[in-house]
């Protein structure tokens, strides 16, 4: 049994691929819980195991170990039940180039037992909400990459699934289309209570869209939490001071190093860098101390850690390098 609140409950989920006699442990026994109505961002570098996890949760790939309940049905014992309640937008997309958009949508809807009038209405509404109003009669192959990606998303949502899996939904979209998609995903959740589980390489996307983030690396979940919680795990806020000259920088570093909880300041010519637990509190104190010492800071910056800093701290690698 799952708790009433859980939309996904996975325990020890595992997938090992066999390729040319070698075993690849793509997903190494992960636990995850997703609540009803949550938007969860699944972040990780290329090859981390994101798609493999999604495919298992969507019943498209059999786990080699572990168990899961998805949308109230057991993954292994009731895969039909799972499939009926979920939507899945694959990383690669699912439309064929020769198919006409409207027909593709209608046949997809028919698969879920939706009548034609409802399917057409919903399809056209969804297309319009993703800025694709005029494509009903065109072939999928004639759409631009970004338009086709948005069509994939329309197909994944046509049966109003309670839970939708989106594998890199916004890769290849321009900034405006991405913003549009975020608005749509938030609306899905706010108006229909849809639970959303999405993978992304975009930090700003995970940050602004997700209620909770799971970070996967090498088939293992290495961190989870709200964006704010994850950022707190990185060593505080970065303060950068620019001084008039090197002697001032040396004095400023000495003063700054005495701030509560500060790490050792790093001096680079006229610039001093350090971390403090709370930049907003430390800054006025620091500026007052500098003034008292007769030191004039000509530049001050406070930077909150980003999710990329979190990833770097946890794995020693930058996710930004992996963006495609
Ligand atoms: N069919 C397969 N046969 C063998 N190995 C596979 C297969 N599919 C995936 N893998 C391997 O499993 C690991 C996880 O792949 P997966 O596609 O889940 O990663 P991902 O996190 O989705 O990466 P990306 O960000 O590139 O989409 C990789 O090492 C990959 O090479
Ligand atoms: Mg993938």
What's the pLDDT score for residue 236? 82
At 233 the pLDDT is: 75
Q: What is the pTM of this model?
A: 0.83
**CA-proximal residue: ligand 1, atom 27 (nearest):** 46
Beta bridge partners of 199: 42, 167
Q: What is the mean pLDDT of each run of 10 residues along the chain (324 residues)?
A: 74 95 95 96 92 97 97 95 94 92 95 94 94 94 92 94 95 88 91 94 87 94 91 82 96 96 92 92 95 95 83 72 47
Q: If you measure from the C-alpha of residue 300 to the centroid of ligand 2, how many angstroms do you get, rounded to a whole number?
A: 40
List of domains in the chain: 6-231 (3.40.50.300), 235-304 (3.30.70.980)
β-bridge mates for residue 71, sequence order: none
Ligand located closest to 216 CA:
1
Residue 314's pLDDT is: 77
- Tokens 């969860």 belong to 40
User: Residues near ligand 1 with C-beta < 6 Å?
Assistant: 17, 19, 24, 26, 44, 46-52, 91
The span from the CA of 304 to the CA of 83, in Å, is 41
The protein residue with its alpha carbon nearest to ligand 1, atom 11, reads 26
178-199 burial, b at 16+ Cβ within 10 Å, e below that, comes to bebbbebbeebbeeeebbbbbb
Q: Whose CA is closest to atom 31 on ligand 1?
A: 47
Q: What is the pLDDT of residue 2?
A: 42
The string of DSSP codes covering 128-141 is HHTT-TT-TTSBGG
What ranges in 113-220 are assigned the alpha helix state H?
116-129, 145-157, 175-192, 203-209
Q: What is the pLDDT of residue 323?
A: 45
């Amino acid at each position: 049994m799952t708790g009433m609140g859980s939309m996904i409950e996975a325990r020890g989920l595992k997938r090992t691929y066999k390729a040319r006699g070698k075993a690849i442990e793509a997903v190494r026994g992960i636990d995850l819980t997703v609540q009803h109505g949550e938007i969860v961002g699944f972040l990780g570098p290329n090859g981390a195991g994101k798609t493999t996890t999604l495919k298992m949760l969507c019943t498209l790939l059999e786990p080699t170990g572990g168990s899961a309940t998805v949308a109230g049905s057991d993954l292994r014992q009731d895969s039909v039940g799972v499939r009926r309640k979920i939507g899945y937008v694959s990383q690669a997309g699912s439309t064929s180039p020769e198919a006409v958009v409207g027909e593709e949508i209608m046949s997809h809807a028919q698969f879920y037992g939706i009548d034609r009038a409802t399917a057409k209405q919903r399809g056209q509404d969804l297309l319009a909400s993703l800025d694709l109003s005029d494509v009903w009669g065109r072939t999928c192959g004639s759409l631009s990459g970004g338009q086709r990606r948005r069509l994939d998303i329309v197909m994944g949502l046509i049966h109003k699934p309670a839970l939708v899996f989106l594998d890199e939904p916004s890769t290849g979209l321009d900034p405006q289309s991405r913003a549009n998609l975020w608005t749509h995903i938030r609306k899905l959740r706010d108006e229909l209570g849809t639970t959303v589980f999405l993978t992304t390489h975009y930090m700003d996307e995970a940050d602004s869209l997700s209620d909770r983030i799971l970070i996967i690396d090498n088939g293992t979940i290495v961190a989870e939490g709200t964006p704010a919680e994850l950022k707190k795990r990185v060593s505080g806020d970065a303060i950068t001071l620019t001084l008039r000259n090197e002697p001032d920088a040396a004095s400023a570093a000495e003063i700054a190093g005495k701030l509560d909880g500060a790490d050792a300041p790093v001096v680079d010519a006229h610039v001093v860098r350090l971390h403090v637990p709370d930049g907003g509190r430390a800054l006025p104190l620091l500026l007052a101390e500098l003034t008292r010492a007769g030191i004039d800071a000509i530049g001050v910056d406070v930077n909150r850690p980003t999710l990329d800093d979190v990833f770097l701290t946890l794995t020693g690698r930058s996710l930004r390098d992996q963006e495609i």
